[in-house]
Amino acid sequence: MMSKKMKTMSAIPAKAPKPQFADNAIAVLERRYLMKDVEGNVIEEPQEMLWRVASTISSADIKYDKKADLDGLAMDFYTMMAEFDFMPNSPTLMNAGRELGQLSACFVLPVEDSMESIFEAVKQTALIHKSGGGTGFSFSRIRPQNDMVYSTKGVSSGPISFMGVFDTATETIKQGGTRRGANMAMLRVDHPDIMDFIKVKADLTKLNNFNISVAITDAFMQAVENDEDYDIINPRDKEVVARKNARKVFKQIVKQAWFSGEPGIVFIDRMNADNPTPELGAFEATNPCGEQPLLPHESCNLGSINLSTMVVNGTLDYDKIADIVGKAVHFLDNVVELNRYPLEQIKKVTQSNRKVGLGVMGFADMLIKLGIPYSSPEAEALAGKVMKFIDDAALQASSKLATIRGSFPNFKKSIYYTANPDVPVRNATRTTIAPTGTISILAGCSSGVEPLFAISYVRRIMDGDEFFEVNPVFEKMAKDNGFYSKALLKDIAEKGTLQGLTEIPAKYRKIFETAHDITPRNHIDIQAAFQAHVNNAVSKTINFSHTATEEDVHDAYMLSYKQGCKGVTIYRDGCRDNQVLSTGTTEAKKDAVAKDGHRTKRDRPRKLTGSTYQMETGCGPMYVTINEDEQGRPFELFNTVGKAGGCASSQCEALGRLVSLAWRSGQDAEPILHQLVGISCHKPFGFGENKILSCADAIAKAVQQHLEANGTCCTPCDKTHQMFGACPECGGVVEHEGGCCVCHACGYSECG
């Protein structure tokens, strides 16, 4: 058994600054990052983790300089992490200096039009997810559904059916409990199955472990603008098999994105216009959040500079930014060298191009410290200025490394060699803006280039206590200027914005804008400003209010294309929470409302009929009985599980009583179903689609079966819903940012 304290590679120097992690950051570290013994006990301090990472990554220098000052370099790397100036992607923090040693977050795998290729990719996906990475695929090479398969004289099942195989494999692996499996599925807009692909997420029981995006060409966008038809091409033989009206297809993309937030769109030709090595092949897919296009079997490791800490004495310190950029590029290049790749093909391709992705976080905090509203022209201008500075500094740092270590092996096949063969470049790409949900929690800053999602929100902990999480920049300013109070935090949490709270001075209401205080155009302007100076792409969510129309989404997509973005992810507030269509009649609701407008409980008739469902749970068999009234509406629910008087039995009885009370008071069945589905406990039962996460989840599944049996369940649902309301791990607030869904309370991320 390992000792209580970890033995690090070398002792942490006494002069090393101690990181001041916030309480929620400590909780995230203990849950996901710090080393544990075989019994699950944490055996590593946060400071030891950072030194483990720094000393490991610095060791790569010895390959290029036998006299390298590894201790001094390790201190440089450690300090920029300990002072929250820079953080690498999660796999590096988790795995550097440990047995697994897999340090990259992003991978793309090829999927060719053969059974052998498809299932080889499934196997490779499993290995990558087991190691902590996420995967992207293009399914565009697979022949369409019902197309001829000459070898068997049968017909193809199409790309969407094979996506389900990858989804099931991901569900099974779950990355060993440290990071969820995450996938990106892309299909070209000219594929014959494109309409089915666009609508696949209309059923939320499908492809739970996938983000999906349509790969849109410039020709398609031109056809949309001109209201023209465009070619549909069978990938099997590259023959044109049909023509579709571009506006109708685009309208369907918009409609589905408005409805559920997916699919996203990727402007694939624009990504390939910036491909640094076009001789080696074209980009067909990206990583799970869409910001990192990669060649087949290529990986990329990411890291982010915290712009919030770059504000010194009220101004942006460009000298400090340049210093951190240089160290960060050095750090990330070392990661390419030291990484233990899950596949030999990935090692070969990755080390031939040595792509790194340096991005930013804390942009919103930086603006606030500078007194600049996120929605202002000044913010847009500063976004472009600071990113251009970072991109230029990253190229200089990469060239400096190349003079010592050599250019990346495919340099002579790159656009850099064509443009200027005498200037070496170490890394084929240097800059990417990725979502930073978890590492921004560790650094105590806002995520990526997103605005603040909330100034204050309620966090609930295991014993039922509640306390307020508050943006640290707001908390300091409020205390410094005399308007801080617990009552104010409660008002902000309930309202979701500072706007209208007159007890807060106007200048602070102006600069503390949240994601829903600004317009979609403001979001797009910032994304486009960063994109202009990023080698790869920008992961960002364009937030819409619940009342936004399909036309609003259409206009945002067109604006994004015209402004030079490489992809777009939108989320309309509450769209998934409100997909449940009402199944109760107006008369039923009137029956439950008294003349004074208050709901009343209907009396129970002497006789009711119903059905009983047996559900297998981690606590044993559960029997759920659902009785209906004379009109066939659910009226009451009873359930039994385990022994009478036990904890599970009493909890389930309480749930049954509350469900019955709601139904007898006129509440529809489906909203109750959606509140219970996906709640998890420590004793789940089963696998895949039949998995029961808890007794509450079992009750929800029984209600769903009952509604489906009676033909009254309008919307399929499962645990996926939990990601779009409350966090499935802690019940906290789920935020839609950076093209992903994250919980800042516990560090949960839908995208890993």
CA distance 355 to 352: 9
Q: Which residues of 585-622 are buried (b: 16+ CB within 10 A; e: fewer)?
A: eeebeebbeeeeeeeeebeeeeeeeeeebebebbbeeb
Neighbours of 270 (CB within 10 A): 20
Amino acid code (one letter) for 403? T
Contact predicate 392/535, CB 8 Å: no
CA distance from start to end of the chain:
30
Using alpha carbons, select from 605, 598, 453, 415 the residue that is nearest to residue 540. 453
DSSP 604: P
Kindly give the residue spans of alpha helices, DSSP state H, lying in 111-231.
115-131, 159-173, 194-199, 218-226
Residue 291 annotated among the catalytic residues of the structure: yes
Q: Enumerate residues 6+ apart whose C-beta is below 8 A from 208.
A: 167, 171, 718, 719, 720
Per the residue annotation, which of 287, 522, 535, 639 is the catalytic one? 287
Strands (E), 629-739: 634-641, 734-737
Q: How far apart are CA 686 and CA 688, in angstroms?
A: 7
680 Ramachandran zone, left/alpha/beta (phi>0; psi -120 to 50): beta
DSSP codes of every residue in 391-436: HHHHHHHHHHHHHHH---TTGGGSHHHHH-TTS--S-S--B-B---
Q: Which of 45, 284, 291, 298 does the annotation list as catalytic?
A: 291
Give backbone dihedrals phi and psi of 718, rounded to 5 degrees, phi first.
-160, -160
Distance CA 259, CA 577 (A): 10
User: What three-state secondary structure class fits 39?
Assistant: coil
Q: Does residue 289 carry a catalytic annotation?
A: yes
Residue of 289, 717, 730, 751 marked catalytic:
289
d(CA 470, CA 514) in angstroms, rounded, equals 13
- Yes or no: say if 534 and 391 are a contact pair by the CB < 8 Å rule: yes
Q: From start to end of 545-590, where are the E strands?
A: 567-572
Cβ neighbourhood burial of 101 (10 Å; 0-12, 13-18, 19+): middle
Strand order in the sheet with 620-628: 609-617, 620-628, 634-641
Q: How far is CA 664 from CA 247, 288, 317, in A?
A: 47, 44, 63
Report the candidate in 378, 423, 382 with the shortest Cα–Cα distance to residue 402: 423
CB 347 within 8 A of CB 336: no
The C-alpha atoms of residue 475 and residue 478 are separated, in whole angstroms, by 5
State the alpha helices, DSSP H only, in 204-305: 218-226, 246-260, 268-273
What is the identity of the amino acid at 530?
F
H or E element in which residue 473 lies: helix 472-480
Torsional sign, CA 203, 264, 581, 730 = positive
Determine the Cα–Cα distance for residues 97 and 494; give it in Å rounded to an integer.
44
Helical (H) or strand (E) element with 56:
helix 46-58
3-state SS of 636-661 is EEEEEECCCCCHHHHHHHHHHHHHHH
Catalytic residue flag (residue 287): yes
Report how far apart, in Å, the C-alpha atoms of 481 and of each of 201, 474, 477, 508 are.
Answer: 48, 10, 6, 10
The tally of CA atoms less than 13 A away on the side-chain side of residue 752 is 38
Give the residue numbers annotated as catalytic, written as ranges. 287, 289, 291
